[in-house]
């Protein structure tokens, strides 16, 4: 398939019928979390959409993000989407190595200047250019050089979006995120360690279909996938409302599937689509498997006081949390979430544990009698 061929022409050439094409459009709508009524508009847009060039750079990371994307059976929606783009440079997936690989990147940049999508996973070390290099080029130089000709940048994974584990205290390499360096391009932050595969492909599908990036939240994440916190969509939420909590991983509460808040679940402060999109082709997600949410799509989640410590917040802000939650008309959990969205960048330090009583006291939907 050439870059000039439209997606529709490509699918037709590969034997996909009109019916199959509309099914593809319906699937694309679904992964972009758009209503079925959008399918005709998507079909119209994709009939003329040309396959965009994608250059994928990997810096300080564990390759979990690329692994997440490819962890699916073939053929998949992801496969279809990737047939619809030209993945011109990706360390893990490309056959080329050495000079040939770098030539592929340079050629793709030259041929598609101003139009290609740059995907970045991993953080960028500023402590010393030699900490992480590719073909002798520092991550910083390669990012700056490749970003110049990009139409948009998709930062994939919490390392690229917020610094991730390389940035965890004491941040030995001086790791920073993509948006700490690039200021003059549209950047979509697809956070998660790793991110949900369908969220990565959903963002690419949006660009492919509409030629634009999706609407973003204040942390640069697509609202359609990061608009709700895990707690609000969690199927264990009714247990939370009834005050039914597992106290250990093997007690009666755990066996009955009660709320994991006391075991450190970070669902109330974590914005992601795990509870709805789920993992492994919609099979399950960590809370459904009996483990609390680690909060991996939030900034500084490695330093948020311990994965098994009950949710905490800065001690000095307890009264402000109540006022903020009441003012916003928020429910329990959202009050805490509001505070953390307000102060997300520095929530990692100087904490004390918030009790269930604190949460219930901050919940305007509960009566005095229920609180006592």
Between the CA of residue 42 and those of 14, 16, 127, 347, what are the distances in Å?
20, 17, 45, 40
Toward ligand FSX, which CB reaches closer, 46 or 143? Answer: 143
199 contacts ligand FSX (rule: CB under 6 A): no
Task: Tally the residues of the chain.
Answer: 372
Toward ligand FSX, which CB reaches closer, 67 or 350? Answer: 67
**Candidates 17-25, 151-159, 211-219, 261-269 — which segment interacts with ligand FSX by CB under 6 A?**
151-159
158 contacts ligand FSX (rule: CB under 6 A): yes
Question: What is the 8-class DSSP label of residue 247?
Answer: S
* Residue of this chain nearest to ligand FSX (CB atom): 64
25 annotated among ligand-binding-site residues = no
Q: Tell the smallest beta-carbon distance from residue 194 to ligand FSX (Å).
A: 4
Do 139 and 125 touch, CB atoms closer than 8 A? yes
Q: Tell the smallest beta-carbon distance from residue 58 to ligand FSX (Å).
A: 6
Residues 73 and 218: their CA atoms lie apart, in Å, by 34
193 contacts ligand FSX (rule: CB under 6 A): yes
Taking the CA atoms of 152, 207, 188 and 109 in sequence, report the sign of the dihedral they define: negative
Do 144 and 180 touch, CB atoms closer than 8 A? no
Toward ligand FSX, which CB reaches closer, 192 or 335? Answer: 192
358 contacts ligand FSX (rule: CB under 6 A): no
Residues 70 and 56: their CA atoms lie apart, in Å, by 14
65 annotated among ligand-binding-site residues = yes
**Candidates 81-89, 155-163, 177-185, 258-266 — which segment interacts with ligand FSX by CB under 6 A?**
155-163
**Candidates 97-105, 153-161, 246-254, 326-334 — which segment interacts with ligand FSX by CB under 6 A?**
153-161
292 contacts ligand FSX (rule: CB under 6 A): no
Residues in the interface with ligand FSX (CB under 6 A) total 14
Residues 154 and 55: their CA atoms lie apart, in Å, by 10
Q: x-or-dash pattern for ligand FSX, window 164-183, by CB under 6 A?
A: xx------------------
**Candidates 60-68, 138-146, 198-206, 324-332 — which segment interacts with ligand FSX by CB under 6 A?**
60-68
296 annotated among ligand-binding-site residues = yes
Do 169 and 204 touch, CB atoms closer than 8 A? no
Beta strand residue intervals within 99-228, DSSP E:
116-121, 124-125, 133-134, 137-138, 150-156, 175-176, 187-190
Query: In sequence order, what are the residues at sequence separation of 6 or more whose Cβ sits closer than 8 angstroms to the Cβ of residue 158?
Result: 164, 165, 191, 192, 193, 296, 297, 298, 299, 301
134 contacts ligand FSX (rule: CB under 6 A): no
Which of 299, 365, 367 lies closest to 333 in space, CA to CA? 365
Q: Tell the smallest beta-carbon distance from residue 169 to ligand FSX (Å).
A: 15
Toward ligand FSX, which CB reaches closer, 7 or 160? Answer: 160
Residues 240 and 363: their CA atoms lie apart, in Å, by 12
Q: Regarding beta strands 150-156 and 187-190, do their DSSP bridges make them parallel or antiparallel, or are they unpaired?
A: parallel
194 contacts ligand FSX (rule: CB under 6 A): yes
Residues 49 and 63: their CA atoms lie apart, in Å, by 30
313 contacts ligand FSX (rule: CB under 6 A): no
163 contacts ligand FSX (rule: CB under 6 A): no
121 contacts ligand FSX (rule: CB under 6 A): yes
Instruction: Kindly list the residues in this chain that would bind ligand FSX in the complex (CB under 6 A).
Output: 61-65, 121-122, 157-159, 164-165, 193-194
Q: Which residues are annotated as a binding site?
A: 62, 65, 159, 193, 231, 234, 259, 265, 274, 293, 296
């Amino acid at each position: 398939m050439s870059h000039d061929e439209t997606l529709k022409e490509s699918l037709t050439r590969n034997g996909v019928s009109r019916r199959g094409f509309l099914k593809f459009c319906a699937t694309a709508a679904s992964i972009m979390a758009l209503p079925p009524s959008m399918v005709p508009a998507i079909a119209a847009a994709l009939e003329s959409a040309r396959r965009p060039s994608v250059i994928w750079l990997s810096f300080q990371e564990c390759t979990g993000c690329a692994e997440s994307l490819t962890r699916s059976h073939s053929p998949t929606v992801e496969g279809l989407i990737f047939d619809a783009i030209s993945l011109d440079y990706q360390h893990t997936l490309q056959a080329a190595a050495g000079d040939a690989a770098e030539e592929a990147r340079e050629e793709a940049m030259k041929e598609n200047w101003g139009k290609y999508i740059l995907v970045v996973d991993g953080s960028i070390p500023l402590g010393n250019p030699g900490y992480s290099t590719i073909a002798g080029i520092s991550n910083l130089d390669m990012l700056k050089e490749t970003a110049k000709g990009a139409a948009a940048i998709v930062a994939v994974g919490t390392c690229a979006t917020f610094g991730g584990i390389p940035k965890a205290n004491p941040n030995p390499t001086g790791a920073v995120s993509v948006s700490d360096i690039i200021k003059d391009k549209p950047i979509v932050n697809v956070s998660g360690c790793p991110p949900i595969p369908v969220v990565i492909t959903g963002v690419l599908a949006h660009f492919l279909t509409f030629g634009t990036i999706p609407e973003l939240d204040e942390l640069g994440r697509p609202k359609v996938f990061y608009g709700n916190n895990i707690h609000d969509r969690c199927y264990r939420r009714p247990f939370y409302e009834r005050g039914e909590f597992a106290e250990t991983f093997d007690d009666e509460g755990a066996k009955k599937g009660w709320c994991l808040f006391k075991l450190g679940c970070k669902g109330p402060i974590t914005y992601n689509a795990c509870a709805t999109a789920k993992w492994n082709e919609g099979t399950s997600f960590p809370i459904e498997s009996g483990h609390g949410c680690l909060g991996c799509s939030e900034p500084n989640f490695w330093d948020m006081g311990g994965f098994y410590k009950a949710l905490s917040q800065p001690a000095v802000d307890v009264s402000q949390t109540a006022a903020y939650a009441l003012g916003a008309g928020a429910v329990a959990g959202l009050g805490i979430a509001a505070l953390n969205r307000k102060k997300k960048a520095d929530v990692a330090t100087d904490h004390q544990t918030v009790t269930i009583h604190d949460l219930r006291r901050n919940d305007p939907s509960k009566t005095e009698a229920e609180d006592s």
